[in-house]
Amino acid sequence: MQPSILNKILKKTEEKTDYFLTLEICQDKVKTAACEIKGGEVEILAIGEKVYDGSWEEATLAADSAISQVEEKFAVEPEVNKVILGLPTEYTKDGKIEESNLVHIKELLKKLSLVPLGFVEVPFAIIHYLQKQEGGPQTLILVRIGQKLTVSLARVGKVTNNITVLRTDNLALDFEKAITSFAEVEVLPSRILLYDGGDLEKTRQDLINHPWLTRASFLHFPKIEIAPQDLDIKSIAYAAALEIAQVVEITEATEIEKPKVQEETPGFGFVKGEDILERQPQEMPPPPQFVSPQEAVPPLPPKRVLPKFTFPQFKLPPIQNLIAFLKARVSPVIPYFKTRIGLLIFLVVFLLLIVGSGVVAASWYIPTAQVNLILESQTLEQKLEVSLNPKLTAIDEANKQSFSANKEIPGLTLEIEEKGTKKAVTTAEKLVGEPAKGEVTIYNKTTNSKTFKKGITVIAPNELKFTLDEEVSVASASESVGSLTFGKQNARLTAAAIGPEGNLGVGQEFHFADFPTTSYSARNEVAFSGGTSREISVVGRSDQERLLASASAELHEQEGKLASGEKILEKTLSGAITQKKFDKEVDEEATELGLEISMKFSVLGFKENDLLTMLEKAIIPSIPAGFEFRRDEVKMEIVDFQKKKDGTVVIKVNFAVSLLPRINEEEIKKNLTGKNLATADNYLRNLGNIAGYEIKFGRTLPFGKSTLPRLAKNIKIETGSRK
């Protein structure tokens, strides 16, 4: 690929490459990574980890082993000894490393010849990293699965609660114990993220099977996810990269201009010229994005990124043809240009005029910029009680009397049906087989004949029960001088229970359960056989119940589809099973059980714009002069609701509205056109109700990169309140 015109004009600066280690020390494991940072971007080159039994001596050996693993995969000269520490929250207090742990950490670093650059608490680093990856503040519960269970609760990008509890055989109950200790938290986040454990999928299934809706303060069944592998060590590296990139940038500027710079870098615990193990900041705020007029030190010039654009391609005609063309047109008027030298001079002047005109036009039409203004807002709080009427389809704004008196907006009943399939391994067992069978001779010792009905019980010597296969009649005994000959008849018996125990040998004496042995008895002359038994896996009723609960929980995770474009009352969400079908019945032999299930979800809701319309009507009399209401500057909280017999729902809503001052954007654009950064800074600082600003350049030219566009339409103004 040929180098672009801009690459030929602009000098490329070689990006500085830095290397460092990250070292995460937990109570049962040590992780480390070799990292490369270049141009503000961090890349993990190798990762090592080692489990240990909990003592600091073992932790030192584990750290040495983990670093050795990294060195086998990655080597760089000179040897890397700078390290960023990642620590669990139980090792710190009030933003500092606890004294009892600080002594051991210093000793560990000394033995391994490591130079600490800073430290960061692991949950804070992960939340910050997820915020970058997913593009917004995180609200979730973070769970580390180790020898102990570490639970961190984050709301809107800030970790508010941490707890570490001992693990037992029931991890779900351990987790329940941890989150119920957050007594001040009324509603728990419905997203749970698991990381740094063994079989996290098994752990996830155990948590899904737990009845959270009845055991903890979740609005609906939580969505339980497994974090990407090595999320913790990557988050520590990302946190470190932010701080190192700032330090490197300040260092380079110092070498060139020698300005005074702050000695402490805000963020995750990195301090220039100071032992970070002795002093650390308490929080890790994101790098500042806006310049405040109240700051004593002038802001650094905003970073500008040259866009990629392509000049139109054109081809000049051959010089001989151009000369001939100009000579033919000009020579009748100016005899001087009949000579070749005259034409060449004219051509050069002509081309310079074209290029100059193009440069001037480009300087007017190509550059673009965006100016973000942070306005000093006024907060107005308002409480409203509004009725959601399912019979309404739209607000009748023309009828203001009805609108203000009834305070009704259309209510929505949102419904959706979800279907799913799920399989699970069966846990019940059943004994199956065949009963033993054989033939006996029945003896009648009485002088009367006897008929034995089918199914009558006959008992063997080992107390096993057998039943008569068919009805049998036995003749009476016959008397002779000095003797009695018993009546006898052969009959078939079947064991009452399955199993090999009924396979009796020859010559066993049997008796009838309902008759004395002095009257009737039986004996076998041939061994019994055919008795077998074995254990098989079958479907148990508990298997069906457990699978049904698990499938229902997974469908609950999909209920977010209900809120598409609407505002819902989450506490009204309900789900009912409309159809369920198991592929195996109870006691049927199977190692796996399948389920097809359908659930119908219903929730009450409303259109957010309808509620904002009512709010706007309510607060118009309270808006100060010079300020305006903007819907994107409204925060609302539904604090209570009540469903009436007529089907309407009354909700109580608290609003916090940021009223922004009115500004004349066109006038600001006009006053900024063609101004350099210093002049623009002076103008913006003197504007009323402006708390800060940021200038972002879009398209720029190699020259005039510190000058705002000369056309007002090429300047875009964005406004917002101070958050």
> For position 576, what pLDDT does the model report?
81
Rounded distance, CA 30 to CA 23, Å? 7
Residue 222 resides in a domain: yes
Residue 2 reports pLDDT greater than 50: no
Rounded distance, CA 463 to CA 567, Å? 73
Higher pLDDT, 405 or 502: 502
Phi, psi of 23, rounded to the nearest 5 degrees: -130, 110
Q: Are strands 191-195 and 223-226 parallel, antiparallel or unpaired?
A: parallel
Boundary (domain end) residue, out of 536, 563, 587? 536
> Binning pLDDT at 50, 70 and 90, where does residue 243 land?
low
> For position 631, what pLDDT does the model report?
82
- The stretch 513-525 carries a mean pLDDT of 92
Residue 558 reports pLDDT greater than 60: no
Higher pLDDT, 190 or 300: 190
**In CATH, what number is assigned to the domain containing residue 108?**
3.30.420.40
> For position 329, what pLDDT does the model report?
55
β-bridge mates for residue 535, sequence order? 431
> Binning pLDDT at 50, 70 and 90, where does residue 394 land?
confident
Residue 402 resides in a domain: no
Are 490 and 344 part of one and the same domain? no
- Structure-derived torsion over alpha carbons of residues 598, 218, 648, 392, reported in degrees to the nearest 10: -70
> For position 330, what pLDDT does the model report?
53
Q: Are 710 and 317 in contact, with CB atoms under 8 Å apart?
A: no
Q: Are 453 and 599 in contact, with CB atoms under 8 Å apart?
A: no
Boundary (domain end) residue, out of 520, 536, 552? 536
Are 250 and 332 part of one and the same domain? no
The 10s digit of each residue's pLDDT in 441-481 is: 999 999 899 999 999 999 998 899 999 999 999 999 888 76
Alpha helices in 305-417 (DSSP H): 319-330, 340-365, 400-406
> For position 19, what pLDDT does the model report?
84
Instruction: Give residue 156's region: left, alpha or beta (phi > 0; psi -120 to 50).
Output: left
Rounded distance, CA 530 to CA 500, Å? 8
Range of 165's domain?
126-229
Residue 258 reports pLDDT greater than 50: no
Higher pLDDT, 499 or 391: 499
Boundary (domain end) residue, out of 311, 337, 365? 365
Are 197 and 130 part of one and the same domain? yes
Q: Are 508 and 460 in contact, with CB atoms under 8 Å apart?
A: yes
Are 101 and 157 part of one and the same domain? no
Instruction: Give residue 447's region: left, alpha or beta (phi > 0; psi -120 to 50).
Output: alpha
Q: Crossing angle of helices 171-180/200-208, nearest 10°?
A: 70
Are 159 and 220 part of one and the same domain? yes
Out of 135-139, 167-171, 234-238, 255-259, least confident range: 255-259
Q: For 572, which DSSP code?
A: G
> Binning pLDDT at 50, 70 and 90, where does residue 332 land?
low
Instruction: Give residue 559's region: left, alpha or beta (phi > 0; psi -120 to 50).
Output: alpha
- What is the SS3 assignment for 620? helix
Residue 640 resides in a domain: no
Are 215 and 142 part of one and the same domain? yes
The 10s digit of each residue's pLDDT in 22-53 is: 999 988 899 999 888 877 688 888 899 989 88
In which residue are the tokens 């799913």 written? 420
Are 158 and 72 part of one and the same domain? no
List strand residue ranges (DSSP E) for 146-206, in order. Answer: 148-155, 158-166, 191-195
Rounded distance, CA 456 to CA 440, Å? 14
Residue 493 reports pLDDT greater than 90: yes
Q: Taking all residues of the chain, what is their mean pLDDT, rounded to a whole number?
A: 78
Provide the token pair at 596. Answer: 């097809």
The 10s digit of each residue's pLDDT in 584-606 is: 888 788 888 788 888 887 778 88
Residue 491 reports pLDDT greater than 90: yes
> For position 281, what pLDDT does the model report?
41
Residue 528 resides in a domain: yes
**What b-and-e string marks burial along 142-155, b requiring 16 or more CB atoms within 10 Å of the CB?**
bbbbbebbbbbbbe
Residue 562 reports pLDDT greater than 80: no
> Binning pLDDT at 50, 70 and 90, where does residue 313 land?
very low
Residue 267 reports pLDDT greater than 70: no
Are 118 and 22 part of one and the same domain? yes
- The stretch 309-318 carries a mean pLDDT of 43
Domain count of the fold of the chain:
4
Q: Which of 640, 638, 554, 636 is nearest to 595 (CA)?
A: 554
> For position 635, what pLDDT does the model report?
87
Residue 337 reports pLDDT greater than 80: no
Residue 187 resides in a domain: yes
Are 199 and 222 part of one and the same domain? yes
> For position 447, what pLDDT does the model report?
87
Are 220 and 83 part of one and the same domain? no
> Binning pLDDT at 50, 70 and 90, where does residue 397 land?
low
> For position 11, what pLDDT does the model report?
40
Residue 510 reports pLDDT greater than 60: yes
Provide the token pair at 663. Answer: 């500004």
Residue 372 resides in a domain: no
> Binning pLDDT at 50, 70 and 90, where does residue 338 land?
low
> Binning pLDDT at 50, 70 and 90, where does residue 13 land?
very low
Higher pLDDT, 505 or 703: 505
Are 252 and 212 part of one and the same domain? no
Q: Are strands 457-459 and 465-468 parallel, antiparallel or unpaired?
A: antiparallel
CB 244: neighbour CB atoms within 10 A?
A: 22
- The stretch 302-317 carries a mean pLDDT of 40
Residue 177 reports pLDDT greater than 80: yes
- What is the SS3 assignment for 640? strand
Cα separation of the two ends of the chain: 46
Q: Which of 644, 640, 634, 670 is nearest to 652 (CA)?
A: 640
The 10s digit of each residue's pLDDT in 103-138 is: 999 999 999 989 998 888 999 899 988 988 887 788
Are 101 and 181 part of one and the same domain? no
Q: Please report which helix (H) or strand (E) contains residue 619, including its range.
A: helix 608-619
Residue 583 resides in a domain: no
Q: Are strands 715-721 and 649-661 parallel, antiparallel or unpaired?
A: unpaired
3-class SS string, 129-140: HHHHHHCCCCCE
> Binning pLDDT at 50, 70 and 90, where does residue 316 land?
very low
Residue 678 resides in a domain: no
